[in-house]
Every structure is written in C-alpha cells, then in structure tokens.
C-alpha cells in the first residue's frame, strides 16, 4: 500500500470491525527510488455467526448483504488512482458504491 493511501484503507479496516475484532501488524518498507510501502498483515479476524448478519436496504440495488457491501467498498478503496490527476480522482469518487455517503 502506498503511504498516501494507507490512512483511508487502515481507517476502513479498523472501523469494519468493533473494538478488538481484528488484529493486524503494519510496518513501513523502504523501496528503491526513495519511496516506501506500508506493509499491513492481518493476523486474526474474529468471526461472527452468519445468523447475526442483517440485510440492509439503504444501499443501491435493494437488499445487499454486509459481506457483498464490504467487498464492494474494499475494491473501491483499493482502486483509488495514484498521482494528482483531479479528473481521475473525481471519476473514482463518482464510482463510490454508497451514493448517500460522501466518499
């Protein structure tokens, strides 16, 4: 993960689970050319029974399970364009899976 993208991704990972439900390690790894990469290793995720999972109707497309929504959000967050191109960033923000939220 590039360090400039790390805060949003780590925020998503930390807020995806409650309290101590997720355990991960992170470190900054130097790369040739003066850049650095953040290495995040998820060590443990406390599983939740499927019976607790609830359906949500406030998302586009009707009822979408939490797992499908999480996959969409993770894919969207990891597809953030690199560089300072404002047109690409605006297109990325417009593709946010949650229309009601300010992504």
Q: What's CA 20's distance to the chain center, in Å? A: 18
Helices 3-16 and 66-78 sit at what angle, rounded to 10 degrees?
Answer: 170
Higher pLDDT, 72 or 12: 72
Over the stretch 67-87, which tens digit does the pLDDT of each residue have?
777 788 888 888 888 877 888
Q: Which pLDDT tens digit goes with each residue over 29-66?
A: 787 877 777 777 777 777 655 545 555 555 555 555 67
Euclidean distance between CA atoms 96 and 78, whole angstroms: 12
């Amino acid at each position: 993960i590039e360090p400039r993208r790390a805060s949003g991704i780590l925020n998503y990972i930390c807020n995806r689970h409650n309290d101590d439900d997720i355990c991960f390690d992170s470190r900054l790894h130097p790369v040739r050319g003066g850049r650095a990469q953040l290495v995040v290793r998820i060590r443990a995720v406390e599983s939740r029974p499927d019976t607790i999972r609830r359906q949500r109707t406030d998302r586009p497309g009707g009822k979408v399970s939490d797992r499908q929504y999480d996959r969409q959000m993770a894919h969207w967050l990891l597809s953030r364009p690199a560089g300072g191109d404002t047109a690409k960033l605006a297109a990325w923000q417009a593709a946010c899976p949650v229309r009601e939220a300010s992504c």
